[in-house]
Amino acid sequence: MAHSPLTPVFVGLRSGLHVLSAALLVLVVVRVVVVRADTLWLSLGCAVLFAALYIAGAGVARVAAPSRVVAGAAWLAALTSVWAGLLVLVPEAAYLVFPLFFLYLHVLPRAVGPAVVLFTTGLAIVALGLHSGFTVGGVVGPLIGAGVALLIGLGYRALAREAAEREALVAELIATRDRLVASEREQGMLAERSRLARDIHDTVAQSLSSIQMLLHAAEAAAPDRPGAEHLSLARQTAADALADTRRFIRELSPPALDQGLTSALLRVAEQWQRDGLRVVVEAPPQLDLPMDTQTALLRITQGALANVAQHARADEAHVELTVEGDRVRLRVADDGVGFDTADVPRNGTDSFGLRAIRERVEQLDGTLVVESSPGRGTRLIVGMGVTR
């Protein structure tokens, strides 16, 4: 049957239908063997064909969705034709109409199933009347069976809808739980990065600053003595290391979001401009975004600008943030040397920043597009939904 059970109740209903069909078909075969009419072998052949077609119906469930209705209708047409032939030969075959009722209601479209149930009910009543004469039982029995089948079919569909709604609810709850876990993990990572930034500032940065000052004092005290050039080189090396350390601290410690994401982006732009990269920020003055989304967008911007400063040899970068309905879009563009995007997967070092950005975007079920070509700059475009 063209159905994948959603709950154990459906498994029980389907199993009961199979047992009922098998029991009624056995009854027909026993009746044929006991009576031993001239049509014995023809009747047995029809019964075997009916059983084979019924079993073959399991393959209908594996048909792709667009063609499943057509395949199910064709299967039921063949099964009904064999049943009609068996009905002509054996009057007890009329009882097989009861499991067929459920198949019609389940496989066929909503408006078609009940109509076919009524048609086959009339066919069974006529066949019983022609075989044994029309009686009250021969008329009322199939009608009651059809009514019960219709009621059970409606209940089955109601259960199926309820099960589908529950599955959707469970999937939504699981997705929400995953987002909460990711958010908590993100907050933990932010706290750890802030701690590392403070530790680096209080230890390595202070030590490098002291070393630079001592070397500068030594260089100034004896500018002409042998080895002065080595002191100058050591002082410059300490200064470069201090600048790198401060850049690491800046990347580890995002500006506070207390005043909003736009203010934080502007402070990031000011920090990079002190290092020689002009950054233009275009963003709404007020943004009503969840904190995890704001943090992610800020981190992505920091990572993108770090890539620009490190690799692009650009003079200017442009950060554009827009919000449309429940979608937010971040675009970071530069006028640097650009690169061939096809080479990124093969360049593990240079692509680390992009991989980190991509992982952050994927955590929020967003999309990332990188557009670049040699000599034409780079454009990084991030899109993600907003859950308010």
- pLDDT, tens digit, 9 for 90 and up, residues 206-258: 788 888 888 888 877 777 777 777 778 888 888 888 777 777 776 665 666 66
CB 222 within 8 A of CB 243: no
HEC per residue, the chain: CCCCCCCHHHHHHHHHHHHHHHHHHHHHHHHHHHHCCCCHHHHHHHHHHHHHHHHHHHHHHHCCHHHHHHHHHHHHHHHHHHHHHHHHHCHHHHHHHHHHHHHHHHHCCCCHHHHHHHHHHHHHHHHHHHHHCCCHHHHHHHHHHHHHHHHHHHHHHHHHHHHHHHHHHHHHHHHHHHHHHHHHHHHHHHHHHHHHHHHHHHHHHHHHHHHHHHHHHHHHHCCCCCCHHHHHHHHHHHHHHHHHHHHHHHHHCCCCCCCCHHHHHHHHHHHHHHCCCEEEEECCCCCCCCHHHHHHHHHHHHHHHHHHHHHHCCCEEEEEEEEECCEEEEEEEECCCCCCHHHHHHCCCCCHHHHHHHHHHHHCCCEEEEEECCCCCEEEEEEEECCC
Q: Within 10 Å of residue 365's Cβ, how many Cβ atoms?
A: 13
Q: Where are the domains of the chain?
A: 8-134, 258-388
What's the CATH class of domain 258-388? alpha beta
Summarised one tens digit per residue, pLDDT across range 332-343 is: 999 999 888 777
Residue 65: the pLDDT is: 66
The model scores a pTM over 0.75: no
Summarised one tens digit per residue, pLDDT across range 42-67 is: 888 888 998 888 888 877 767 776 77
Q: Is the dihedral of CA 133, 139, 145, 149 positive or negative?
A: positive
